[in-house]
Amino acid sequence: MQLAAIVISLVTFVVGTALAARAALYIYRVVRTGQPDPGRFGQPAQRVKTVAVEFVGHTRMNRWGIVGIAHWFVAVGFFTLGLTLLTAFFQLFDAEFVLPVLGGWLPYELFTELVGTLTTLGIATLIVIRLLSLPGRAGRKSRFAGSIAWQAFYVEYTILGIGLCIMILRGLEGALEHVGSYEAKYLISYPLVVAFRGLSEGTLENLVYVFAMLKICISFAWAITIGINPSMGVAWHRFLAFFNIYFKREEDGSTALGELRPMTSGGQPIDFEDPADDAVFGVSQVEHFSWKGILDFSTCTECGRCQSQCPAWNTGKPLSPKLLIMSLREHAFGKAPYLLAGGGKDMEGAEKATAEQLKDVPAAALAEAERPLIGTAEENGVIDPDVLWSCTTCGACVEQCPVDIEHIDHIVDMRRYQVMIESSFPTEAGTMLKNLENKGNPWGMATKARLDWVKELKKETGIEVPVIGEDIDPAEVEYLYWVGCAGALEDRAKKTTKAFAELLHTAGVRFAILGKEESCTGDSARRLGNEFLFQMLGAQNVETLNAALEDAPAKRIVATCPHCFNTIANEYPQLGGHFEVIHHTQLLQHLIDEGKLVPVNPVEGLITYHDPCYLGRHNKVYSPPREIMDKVPGLRQQEMHRHKERGFCCGAGGARMWMEERIGKRINTERVDEALSLNPDIVSTACPFCLVMLSDSVNGKKNEGAAKEHLKVVDVAQLLLDSVKAIPPAEAEEPQTVDA
């Protein structure tokens, strides 16, 4: 028995180790097929700290309650119970073997008992959760829909088997030690010690050999499995995740949200004024992704948290961030033999490699290399165009991913090629791009229309809004108010603009606008994929802002549109524009705290707040709007089920504002249905895009009789103005005359 256990265990160990090591090297070579990405190596100490914090704290996983706790014990057990595997090897030769120094030391024994038990219970919990959430039961609602089920179950049952072996071996060890009464050393496994106590010593030794062998064989059968499946992300993520988190985009450890990265070719930003002849615009082949992109694809654990939060997937559209990453992973590994042999095509489609280089490449890899990265099922495309254009860039996937995959960057990179090289994008978006080029706003309205709201405000309230450089000197300005295209030109958004201007006037804030000098920030153009147009608009705006604020005491800008706020604050630094930018809710909260705005008039009703994605997830501004509403008398706040970090998109981001929604349920309808489940009197938000999308859906619901007629959708600024504004005194009643 002992000899058989030794031989089987050692053979399994050698084969498993060799195959796993070979696969690890292969993964490294596949990742290296991506483009250079030099920005991933700065601040190594901070990056190490980020890895430690995210692993030890399980910062993303622990948002999911019991799942996070169970996974923590599984992850910790995997990396800390390695000594039990070493012990098992020695137990094959000596059933009573204990580790030198640590063996018998109570703290170590207790650690093994506790972590071993909790790891086993943790994986059992995760198995139950997976079984209860199988796609066969929940369909698209299951976050496991589309995941490779056998791989996930294999990994989970492997961990369960190892955990059970650890606990059984603990019981056998206690029985061999002739433990006669309860000891802390066998804190949890003592009942097993009692169960094995009556067996003979020979039987106990043979059982030790059997379960030590089982523990080793289960462990290295897993190594063999992952060794022959290098794209098995559900297993390899436990190693690759550390590297993926270390090399994340932001050196400070924050998520890859907010700004988009500049467009690069060969790892270097493209100079749009004089691009290199061989510059690659966007991603049209999997090897055009950076090496970090391919590492992202390899690291995906198929947990489906991104999918469960995605507004497109939740409304019946074909986009699942998880399935997109999985498709890119399978394509990258399927094409890898061709790429590693030197294969590849230039921008004209000519093959770079010689026939001699490709002669040993498997036919399957050559066939994979012929697939278009973006294409319909009929074209054998890797990513369907409907998948690519369904994304709202809301950031829910990036926010939730426990291994820091950068979905939005990859989606936009693919869009860039489609827009700038193929001119292939939804037709309606073409009108928006043309309007931006010709008129500087997506509606194509005349530049002078940007000042219409100023005239309306003066007529309604007598307040005059100064234009910087014309009506007011920059040195006198505390804040430059960036109105934005929607705020200046869209009727519903103009109400927010006027309310905010009136509040600033009431608070005595010296502010000014650019007026006709303002142009679109380029947010929609960039997220659609037209980087050239964004660069053009952005450079123009940076020049205008720098000139306007040159003599200002501080380059402070306030914006009512989160998209403008995000672009000016986070993306214009890429173009040389460094400004202090805040959102209007942040400034209003500050003015309330200073006592310059005092909400006194009650605004009665139940209110629910919708978090704009580009204010919340992308820029982490959650509290100011809520604190403003807290200060308004009469309002009763109630959160929707999906709020703050898990807030649900309105459907307008990622340039979707300008594209028709033809597949599945409208995203804004889904969001309004969630709001209506609370039976509110007011739905509030803090973004003009959200205001338009939610208003459209609420009006539709009113027409169907599914929403209260008095339900209104307003910006937080409008609510605050209603509470701050003095109520006109009621006209005195005429005195009644009494006949004498």
Q: Work out the average pLDDT over 267-278.
A: 89
Residues 682-713 have pLDDT tens digits of 999 999 999 999 999 999 999 999 999 999 99
| Cβ neighbours of 700 (radius 10 Å) | 15
Q: Which structure tokens are listed for 16? A: 């498993």
Q: Work out the average pLDDT over 24-38.
A: 97
| Cβ neighbours of 89 (radius 10 Å) | 17
- Residue 355 to residue 357: CA distance in whole angstroms: 5
Q: Does 64 score more than 90 pLDDT?
A: no
| pLDDT the model gives residue 388 | 97
Structure-model confidence comparison of residues 463 and 347, the more confident one = 463
- Residue 340 to residue 230: CA distance in whole angstroms: 15
| pLDDT the model gives residue 738 | 42
Q: Does 739 score more than 60 pLDDT?
A: no
Residues 65-77 have pLDDT tens digits of 899 999 999 999 9
Distances (CA, A) of 691 to 294, 498, 684: 38, 15, 8
Spatial CB neighbours of 565, under 8 Å, sequence gap ≥ 6: 482, 559, 581, 582, 583, 614, 615, 619
Q: Does 22 score more than 70 pLDDT?
A: yes
Spatial CB neighbours of 57, under 8 Å, sequence gap ≥ 6: none
| pLDDT the model gives residue 675 | 97
Answer yes or no: are the C-beta atoms of 685 and 715 closer than 8 Å.
Answer: yes
Alpha helix positions (H), 102-148: 106-132, 135-138
| pLDDT the model gives residue 727 | 66
Q: Work out the average pLDDT over 657-670.
A: 95
Q: Does 735 score more than 50 pLDDT?
A: no
Residues 356-393 have pLDDT tens digits of 999 999 999 999 999 999 999 999 999 999 999 999 99
Residues 118-133 have pLDDT tens digits of 999 999 999 999 999 9
Spatial CB neighbours of 171, under 8 Å, sequence gap ≥ 6: 186, 189, 191, 192, 193, 195, 196
Residues 501-560 have pLDDT tens digits of 999 999 999 999 999 999 999 999 999 999 999 999 999 999 999 999 988 888 899 999
| pLDDT the model gives residue 725 | 85
Q: Identify the residue whose tokens are 């109630």.
A: 638
pLDDT band at 733; cut points 50, 70, 90: very low
Q: Does 318 score more than 80 pLDDT?
A: yes
Burial of 602-637, coded b for 16+ CB within 10 Å and e otherwise, reads: ebeeebbbbbbbbbbbbbebbebbbebbebbeebee
pLDDT band at 730; cut points 50, 70, 90: low
Residues 182-215 have pLDDT tens digits of 989 999 999 999 999 989 999 999 999 999 999 9
SS (H, E, C) 607-668: EEECCCCCCCCCCCCCHHHHHHHHHCCCEEECCCCCCHHHCCCCCCCCCHHHCCCCCCCCHH
Specify the amino acid at residue 31. Answer: V
Answer yes or no: are the C-beta atoms of 77 and 156 closer than 8 Å.
Answer: no
SS (H, E, C) 10-71: HHHHHHHHHHHHHHHHHHHHHHCCCECCHHHCCCHHHHHHHHHHHHHHCCCHHHHCHHHHHH
- Residue 543 to residue 537: CA distance in whole angstroms: 10
pLDDT band at 728; cut points 50, 70, 90: low
Q: Which residues pair with 264 in a beta bridge?
A: 269
